[in-house]
Amino acid sequence: DWSPSSFIETTVAQLREQLKDDKVILALSGGVDSSVAAVLLNKAIGKNLTCIFVDHGMLRKNEFENVMRDYEHLGLNVIGVNAHDKFFGELAGVTEPERKRKIIGKGFIDVFDEEARKIKDVKWLAQGTIYPDCIESLSITGTVIKSHHNVGGLPEKMNLKLCEPLRLLFKDEVRRVGRELGMMEHLITRHPFPGPGLAVRILGDITPEKVSILQNADDIFIRGLREWGLYDKVWQAGVVLLPVQSVGVMGDERTYERAVALRAVTSTDAMTADWAKLPYDFLAKISNEIINKVKGVNRVVYDISSKPPATIEWE
Ligand code: XMP
């Protein structure tokens, strides 16, 4: 029966058999799935694996630097690419969620492709796809609710074979495998984060200023969850910047500023999710801190919708 250690042993043997001396590339996202896939492949084929981590500018505050440090610590051969200007440029004025996803997906492929071409004779593209990803992208009616595949089309374009060592695992199994591989606990227990990042948490058009406001609010919420021992009790959490301004008072002044929504859910696979019953004291503290410290925000609301019929992300 299934255990992380037997999974690792079998998979490493299979990967060596399948990949031999071939060169493999993998897109790291900072998330647990791609990180576990990378460490597993690194164990199997070492330096024949090159990882590429694209910073599209819509990551969490300090995420790129922190995660790059973790990856280097894990001994991964990783190339970090700052592509902020490209993505902010292409996204300027775009408000429609699926168009944001398409632009980011395509931009990501361009950057990845450009980096990958610098490596000679790459034969394989490895991905941290897990079982629920395969199901969610083929909903029962055949309608795509949200296009999740950020690297869809990449293998064909680059003429690469696809290697997906985690495709039969659920999230909790991926985490157990990561732990068995000796990965840092904060990497393993990291919440899922969408590929298009904060771009789908800014309703309306995206500007560097809005990203910065959202990063600061999100950082307060996520650090608060950790400090209160709540981070590991929720599946996923984040802040959404709303395209709404409302009236407030600050001292004697009337303000007319933005509203943000806090989102935190419990789930086991993201297919269904319930809003997290966070303590009122905690919500009060986070709300105060965001309004006091994040310039441009004067109102905080808490999202109490479950999936279905709502989704986890607002876009
Ligand atoms: P929804 O909002 O559909 O999200 O309930 C389910 C899970 O998927 C994540 N998500 C994405 N992940 N690219 C991704 O890689 C995307 O475009 C995307 N959209 C949603 C979401 O954060 C949640 O974990």
Contact 74, 30 (CB under 8 A): no
Q: What is d(CA 314, CA 259) in angstroms, rounded to the nearest whole number?
A: 14
Cβ burial 185-218 (10 Å sphere, 16+ → b, else e)? eebbebbebbbbbbbbbbbeebeeebbebbbbbb
- Residue 45: CB atoms within 10 A of its CB come to 21
> How many of the other CB atoms lie within 10 Å of CB of 174?
24
Question: Which residue, by CA, sits nearest to atom 18 of ligand 1?
Answer: 194
What is the Å distance from ligand 1's center to 47 Cα?
Answer: 31
Q: What is the pLDDT of residue 154?
A: 66
311 within ligand 1 shell (Cβ under 6 A): yes
Neighbours of 287 (CB within 10 A): 19
Separation CA 23–CA 119 (nearest Å): 9
Q: Whose CA is nearest to atom 8 of ligand 1?
A: 194
pLDDT digits 0-9 by tens, 47-92: 999 999 999 999 999 999 999 999 999 999 999 999 999 999 999 9
Axis crossing angle, helix 171-180 with helix 4-19, rounded to the nearest 10: 80
Alpha-carbon span 243 to 240, nearest angstrom: 10
Distance 74 CA to ligand 1 centre (A): 27
Q: How high is the pLDDT of residue 141?
A: 43
C-alpha distances (whole Å) from 258 to each of 150, 224, 242 are 30, 21, 7
Any atom of ligand 1 within 6 Å of the Cβ of 233: no
**What is the pairing mode between strands 78-82 and 49-55?**
parallel
Could you list the residues known to form a binding site for ATP, using ranges. 29-35
What pLDDT score was predicted for residue 153? 61
Nearest alpha-carbon partner for 57 in 250, 209, 281:
209
Report CA(126)–ligand 1 centroid distance (Å): 20
Question: How many helices (H) and strands (E) would you count in the chain?
Answer: 11, 9
Q: ipTM of the predicted structure? A: 0.99
148 Cβ below 6 A of ligand 1: yes
Q: What residues are designated binding site?
A: 29-35
Instruction: State in Å: Cα 202 to ligand 1 middle.
Output: 14
Give the residue, out of 139, 151, 313, with the most ligand 1 atoms within 8 A of its beta carbon, to mutate for a pocket test.
313
User: Ligand 1 atom closest to Cα of 235?
Assistant: 24
| 122, containing H or E segment | strand 122-126
Q: Could you tell me which CATH number the domain at 4-188 has?
A: 3.40.50.620
Ligand 1 centroid, distance to 118 Cα (angstroms)? 31
Q: How far is the CA of 4 from the centre of ligand 1 (A)?
A: 26
- The CATH number fitting domain 207-302, selected from 3.30.300.10, 3.40.640.10, 3.30.70.60, 3.30.360.10: 3.30.300.10
Q: Which two tokens stand for residue 268?
A: 């086991």
Buried b (16+ CB within 10 A) or exposed e, 12-41: beebeeebeeebbbbbbbbbbbbbbbbbbb
Domain boundaries along the sequence of the chain? 4-188, 207-302
Across the beta sheet with 78-82, what order do the strands follow?
A: 78-82, 49-55, 23-28, 122-126, 161-163
Handedness of CA 49, 107, 103, 206 (dihedral sign): positive
| pLDDT tens across the length of the chain (315 residues) | 899 999 999 999 999 999 999 999 999 999 999 999 999 999 999 999 999 999 999 999 999 999 999 999 999 999 999 999 999 999 999 999 999 999 999 999 999 999 999 999 999 999 999 988 777 665 444 444 555 555 556 667 778 899 999 999 998 999 999 999 999 999 999 999 999 999 999 999 999 999 999 999 999 999 999 999 999 999 999 999 999 999 999 889 999 999 999 999 999 889 999 999 999 999 999 999 999 999 999 999 999 999 999 999 999
312 lines ligand 1 (CB under 6 A): yes
Around 164, how many Cα atoms within 13 Å sit in the side-chain half-sphere?
Answer: 12
What's this model's pTM, rounded to 2 decimal places? Answer: 0.90
**Mutate which of 59, 109, 146, 190 for ligand 1 pocket (most atoms within 8 A of beta carbon):** 146
Cis, peptide link before residue 97, omega less than 30° from 0: no
Strand partners, 297: 258
